[in-house]
């Protein structure tokens, strides 16, 4: 258990002139595992790396970065019985990588994690994505809701007659430019409910982000399942001010990670499987 001392001196001065301390007992945070990662199929590439990142939920009121987990065993299997072992990155705590697994559309992948005597598992089928038709920059004037500047736009055609769900990532260098806030839940993730089969032109994966000449921007156009979309929507809606996707949102959002050993100790995070079409754009004047 954990205790926090709360001073109520100001209140006492207004009444009796005393100063008292109240002991409030807070429940200790369990060692709750956080899983972040997916199996990827990157269009047009053969040499790329898969990764899974493991961390722990911080104690109550602890605003520091979530501690990483570097003592787990991680592997991913497919429906044909292939098993791929992920090894710990010696330079990045909690990051497990594999260079052999290449994702296939329609294949079901099972993530298995053994950590401190607990077995965790998640299953996801790899979802396709329609190709990017064009990636380009577009200058937007300032308006009531957004700052003006150079933004990154994309064109693509949504497949007709089937539900499709999308997620976009934008990187400048190693930094993901997309932050999980409620406003971004409307354009960083999307579903084709109202534009099935249409050609989408001038779509901003992040309407809030502007770029400077010289920025080298990597845009990742990602196909996701309905379950992944629902999870990300809740994550964006609740995370708000935490800053990074791996940070802990205010409420426990249950993903698809099951604890087979101790079901009550629910893991957080989501294991996905996605086809990704990505391009690099150099921003100019």
The pLDDT tens digits of the residues spanning 33-84 come to: 999 999 999 999 999 999 999 999 864 444 446 799 999 999 999 999 999 9
Average pLDDT of the chain to the nearest whole number: 85
Could you tell me the residue ranges of all domains in the chain? 33-127+251-274
pLDDT given for residue 150 in this prediction: 96
Q: Is the pLDDT of residue 258 over 50?
A: yes
Q: Is the pLDDT of residue 220 over 90?
A: yes
The H-or-E segment that residue 149 falls in is strand 149-157
Q: Is the pLDDT of residue 285 over 70?
A: yes
Pick the CATH number of 33-127+251-274 from 2.60.40, 1.20.1250, 3.40.50, 1.10.357: 2.60.40
Q: Which residues contact 130 (CB under 8 A, 6 or more apart)?
A: 156, 157, 158, 159, 164, 223, 277
Q: Is the pLDDT of residue 274 over 80?
A: yes
The pLDDT tens digits of the residues spanning 99-155 come to: 999 999 999 999 999 999 999 999 999 999 999 999 999 999 887 777 789 999 999
In angstroms, the CA 285 to CA 278 distance is 23
The percentage of the chain sitting over the pLDDT mark of 90, rounded to a whole number, equals 67
Q: What is the largest CA-CA distance in the chain?
A: 75
pLDDT given for residue 183 in this prediction: 63
Under DSSP, the state recorded for 247 is: S
Q: What are the distances in angstroms from CA 158 to CA 128, 191, 193, 218, 269?
A: 11, 10, 11, 21, 28
């Amino acid at each position: 258990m954990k205790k926090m001392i709360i001073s109520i001196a100001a209140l006492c001065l207004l009444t009796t002139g005393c100063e008292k301390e109240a002991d409030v007992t807070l429940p200790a945070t369990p060692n709750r595992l956080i899983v972040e990662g997916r199996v990827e199929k990157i269009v047009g590439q053969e040499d790329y790396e898969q990764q899974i990142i493991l961390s722990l939920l911080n104690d109550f009121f602890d605003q520091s970065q979530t501690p990483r987990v570097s003592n787990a065993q991680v592997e991913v299997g497919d429906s044909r019985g292939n098993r791929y072992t992920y090894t710990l990155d010696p330079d990045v705590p909690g990051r497990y990588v594999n260079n052999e697994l290449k994702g296939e559309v329609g294949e079901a992948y099972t993530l298995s994690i053994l950590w401190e005597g607990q077995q965790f598992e998640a299953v996801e089928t790899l979802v396709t994505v329609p190709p990017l038709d064009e990636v380009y920059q577009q200058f937007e004037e300032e308006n009531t809701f957004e700052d003006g500047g150079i933004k990154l736009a994309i064109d693509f055609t949504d497949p007709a007659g089937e539900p499709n769900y999308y997620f976009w990532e934008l990187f400048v260098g190693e930094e993901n430019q997309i932050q999980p806030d409620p406003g971004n839940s409307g354009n960083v993730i999307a579903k084709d409910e109202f534009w099935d089969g249409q050609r989408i032109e001038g779509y901003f994966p992040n309407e809030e982000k502007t770029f400077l000449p010289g920025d080298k921007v990597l845009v990742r156009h990602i196909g996701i399942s309905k379950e992944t979309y629902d999870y990300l929507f809740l994550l964006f809606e609740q995370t708000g001010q935490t800053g990074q996707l791996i940070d802990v949102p205010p409420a426990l959002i249950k993903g698809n990670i099951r604890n087979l050993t101790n079901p009550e100790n629910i893991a957080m995070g989501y294991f996905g499987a996605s086809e990704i079409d990505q391009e690099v754009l150099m921003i100019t004047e």
